[in-house]
């Protein structure tokens, strides 16, 4: 699918999530302390989780939540002019809330993930996330004799993307709140459709400088 089609679909989903009417995304650039970013800027390796969100697999009656108040961003960085790269996102205190008799490891880690940011409306940023290589975001080991997903299952990108919506990204500040979500039919766990919803966390630069997306 072309980048243009991905952006149109992602922007539509962002409107539904934020409850705001926004326009089609437009190109922008990272800005640090009032200067357009050149090269890279490292992200703080720990992000504060404001809401843990959930990964839901309806057909298997499985919902995964990672309940820790922090998540780890291993070797995360902004890349000029509008990119982002994280070697791994590590979720802590993961558990299942389901009727599917499944359990998951306490820690769940992703593969390297890269993203491309665009302006969404006047002040927001929308970051389209993809595995750096292939289509697998992570693998999760499910256990339980009656678990429909028993075994190690890939979390796979299908025809769309996982997205980060950053409200007020054009405001230069130390911390930026982002919401992570997937478009309908964007993910599969094993062979089953899955959806990521409600994950809210703050990200900052390792330098503790104010930054924005303009």
Which helix (DSSP H) or strand (DSSP E) does residue 3 occupy? helix 3-18
pLDDT in tens, the chain (214 residues): 433 333 334 443 444 344 433 434 457 999 999 999 999 999 999 999 999 999 999 999 999 999 999 999 999 999 999 999 999 999 999 999 877 789 999 999 999 999 999 999 889 999 999 999 999 999 999 999 999 999 999 999 998 889 999 999 999 999 999 999 998 889 999 999 999 999 999 999 999 999 999 9
As a whole number of angstroms, the distance between CA 162 and CA 137 comes to: 10
Q: What is the pLDDT of residue 183?
A: 87
> Where in the chain are the domains?
3-205
Q: What is the pLDDT of residue 35?
A: 97
Strand partners for 94: 66
- Token look-up 């919401």 returns 179
Q: Supply 57's token pair.
A: 């697999």
pTM: 0.85
Cβ neighbours for 85, distance < 8 A, ≥ 6 positions apart:
75, 76, 77, 79, 112, 113, 114, 115, 132
Cβ neighbours for 71, distance < 8 A, ≥ 6 positions apart:
46, 47, 49, 89, 90, 91, 92, 201
Q: What is the pLDDT of residue 192?
A: 96
Q: What is the pLDDT of residue 26?
A: 56
């Amino acid at each position: 699918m072309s980048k243009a089609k991905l952006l149109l679909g992602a922007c539509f989903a962002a409107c539904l999530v934020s409850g705001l009417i926004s326009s089609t995304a437009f190109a922008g650039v990272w800005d640090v302390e009032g200067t357009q970013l050149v090269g890279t800027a490292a992200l703080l390796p720990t992000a504060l989780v404001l809401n843990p969100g959930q990964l839901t697999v309806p057909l298997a009656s499985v919902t995964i939540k990672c309940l820790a108040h922090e998540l780890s961003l291993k070797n995360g960085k902004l890349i000029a002019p509008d990119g982002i790269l994280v070697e791994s996102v590590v979720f802590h205190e993961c558990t299942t809330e389901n009727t599917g008799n499944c359990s998951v490891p306490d820690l769940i880690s992703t593969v390297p993930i890269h993203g491309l940011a665009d302006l969404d409306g006047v002040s927001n940023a929308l970051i389209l996330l993809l595995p750096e290589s292939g289509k697998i975001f992570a693998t999760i080991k499910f256990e339980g004799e009656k678990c429909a997903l028993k075994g190690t299952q890939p979390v796979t990108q299908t025809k769309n993307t996982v997205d980060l919506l950053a409200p007020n990204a054009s405001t230069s500040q130390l911390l930026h709140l982002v919401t992570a979500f997937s478009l309908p039919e964007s993910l599969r766990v094993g062979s089953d459709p899955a959806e990521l919803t409600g994950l809210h966390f703050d990200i900052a630069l390792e330098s503790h400088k104010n930054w924005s997306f303009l």
